[in-house]
Structure 1
Amino acid sequence: MTTVQDLLERHGTTYAEQAGIRLRDTPAPLYQLLVLTQLCAIRIRADTAADAARELFADGLRTPRAMTGSSWQQRVDALGRAHYVRYDESTATVLGEGAALVRERWHGDLRRLREEAERDPAAIGRLLREVPRIGPVGADIFRREAQLLWPELRPFFDRRALSAAAGLGLPREPDALAALVRPDDLARLSTALVRSTLS
């Protein structure tokens, strides 16, 4: 049986960490997590999505204001450098639209989305799905990573993570699974379970 410690050591890097996002409960890192979520929310390798996020952030596109202030071509070029192909043009459009929505609806601060949802996990998921390209899977990706910051999301394990846990002989019930790690490691465990299905 795989131990939780083995899982965390082998697969416990979160996608936010891989994309170079230093997660804090402040507007810029939360927006960067949303960008990563938009990049991951289509059929593309998560590693490629993380590389694309790094390229966008290296270009200074770390806030909704910077994203809406960039040109479509600048976004396409950044995605191209990460080999985020086939979807680069549509994604460049989606990123601009998403940034505009975040600015208009939540004044550039996703903590306002959290408050609009009254810190209810299901409502947070519904509001996230209003962002272009983010469907149920994308909302799960965001909540999986954001549980590090927003305690009301804990423990968050999507269906894929719970299925992986069962396959590894670990508890399939979220609370029992969460009891195996510290609260600060829940996002890592959830990601490790998902990554374990890809290796």
Structure 2
Amino acid sequence: MGKSDKAVLDLLLDRYGRTFAGEAGIKLSDQPKPLYQLLVLATLLSARISARIAIAAAGELFAAGYATPRAMREASWQDRVDALGRGHYRRYDERTATMLGNGAELLIDRWKGDLRRLRDEAGGDAGRIRDLLTEFPGIGPTGADIFLREVQGVWPQVAPHLDQRVLAGAGRLGLPRQERSLAGLAHSNDELARLSAALVRVSSDAKAAKEIKAAATR
């Protein structure tokens, strides 16, 4: 890693290197509950709504006790709508409440409520995991990418997972736009997940990218 890349990387991680799961209060580990919480967050982030609102809505769902697939399934549709509303997730609240209930039921029925079983069914292959994730209501290719780039910190089988938004952010900063080269800048899978989240934020914020580049050259 060159000095300029290191300076950019250090600033990027310092300013924007918090995962979306971390921002939502999810203590991510390879356990059923936090993995399910990440799936819920990926569902909410998939809609055309700000990440801030999606994260707030996830927090309201979890605070209401809907942090496991069984609790989500057993909650009434109206309870889920109300929790989403408290997070200001209003344009998509009714549809999303239905999707979350149906998704919880699918996870319980097919994988006994444990996303590690989905991973194992896919043989740890990231492409196959991505395909299986899109079977959940509300999780399309975008949502699957969100889940994978966050979960790579605890699922080494899928790392590196750097989608086009991550690579676009790297391009804004003059970092490598090839997956392997970019992944090589991170010292661990946990740091890779943080780097991915930071680059996603920068990919849609030209001002932030410009400020980091300027600060790195001082």
TM-score range relative to shorter protein: over 0.9
- The counterpart of 1:174, out of the listed 171, 176, 179, is 179
- The counterpart of 2:9, out of the listed 4, 11, 19, is 4
- Structure-1 residue corresponding to 2:45: 40
CA deviation after TM superposition for structure 1 residue 42, in Å: 1.1
Q: Aligned partners of 2:127, 2:163: CA distance in 1, in Å?
A: 13
The reply to whether residue 57 of structure 1 matches residue 58 of structure 2 is: no
For structure 2, which runs of at least 5 residues remain unmatched after alignment?
Answer: 206-218
Q: Select the structure of larger CA radius of gyration.
A: 2
- The counterpart of 2:24, out of the listed 13, 19, 25, is 19
Q: Aligned partners of 1:81, 1:198: CA distance in 2, in Å?
A: 26
- Structure-2 residue corresponding to 1:188: 194
Consecutive aligned runs of 4 or more in structure 1 exceeding 3 Å deviation: none
- Structure-2 residue corresponding to 1:110: 115
Q: Aligned partners of 2:169, 2:39: CA distance in 1, in Å?
A: 25
- Structure-2 residue corresponding to 1:96: 101
TM-score by length of structure 2 reads: 0.89
CA deviation after TM superposition for structure 1 residue 119, in Å: 0.3
Q: Aligned partners of 1:66, 1:12: CA distance in 2, in Å?
A: 31
Report how many residues are paired.
Answer: 199
CA RMSD in angstroms, aligned pairs only: 1.0
Tell whether the 8 Å contact from 2:42 to 2:147 is kept in structure 1 after alignment: yes
Instruction: After superposing the two structures, state which structure 1 stretch, 173-182 or 139-148, moved more.
Output: 173-182
CA deviation after TM superposition for structure 1 residue 182, in Å: 1.2
CA deviation after TM superposition for structure 1 residue 13, in Å: 1.0
Q: Aligned partners of 1:38, 1:147: CA distance in 2, in Å?
A: 17
- Structure-2 residue corresponding to 1:123: 128
The reply to whether residue 159 of structure 1 matches residue 169 of structure 2 is: no
CA deviation after TM superposition for structure 1 residue 149, in Å: 0.8
- Structure-1 residue corresponding to 2:34: 29
TM-score by length of structure 1 reads: 0.97
Q: Aligned partners of 1:167, 1:192: CA distance in 2, in Å?
A: 12
Letter in 2 for 1:34: L
- Structure-2 residue corresponding to 1:70: 75
Identity of aligned residues (%): 57
Tell whether the 8 Å contact from 2:168 to 2:203 is kept in structure 1 after alignment: no
For structure 1, which runs of at least 5 residues remain unmatched after alignment?
Answer: none
Q: Aligned partners of 1:8, 1:179: CA distance in 2, in Å?
A: 15
Per-residue CA deviations over 1:62-115 (Å, capped at 9, x if unaligned) read 100000110011111111111101100101101000000000010000000000
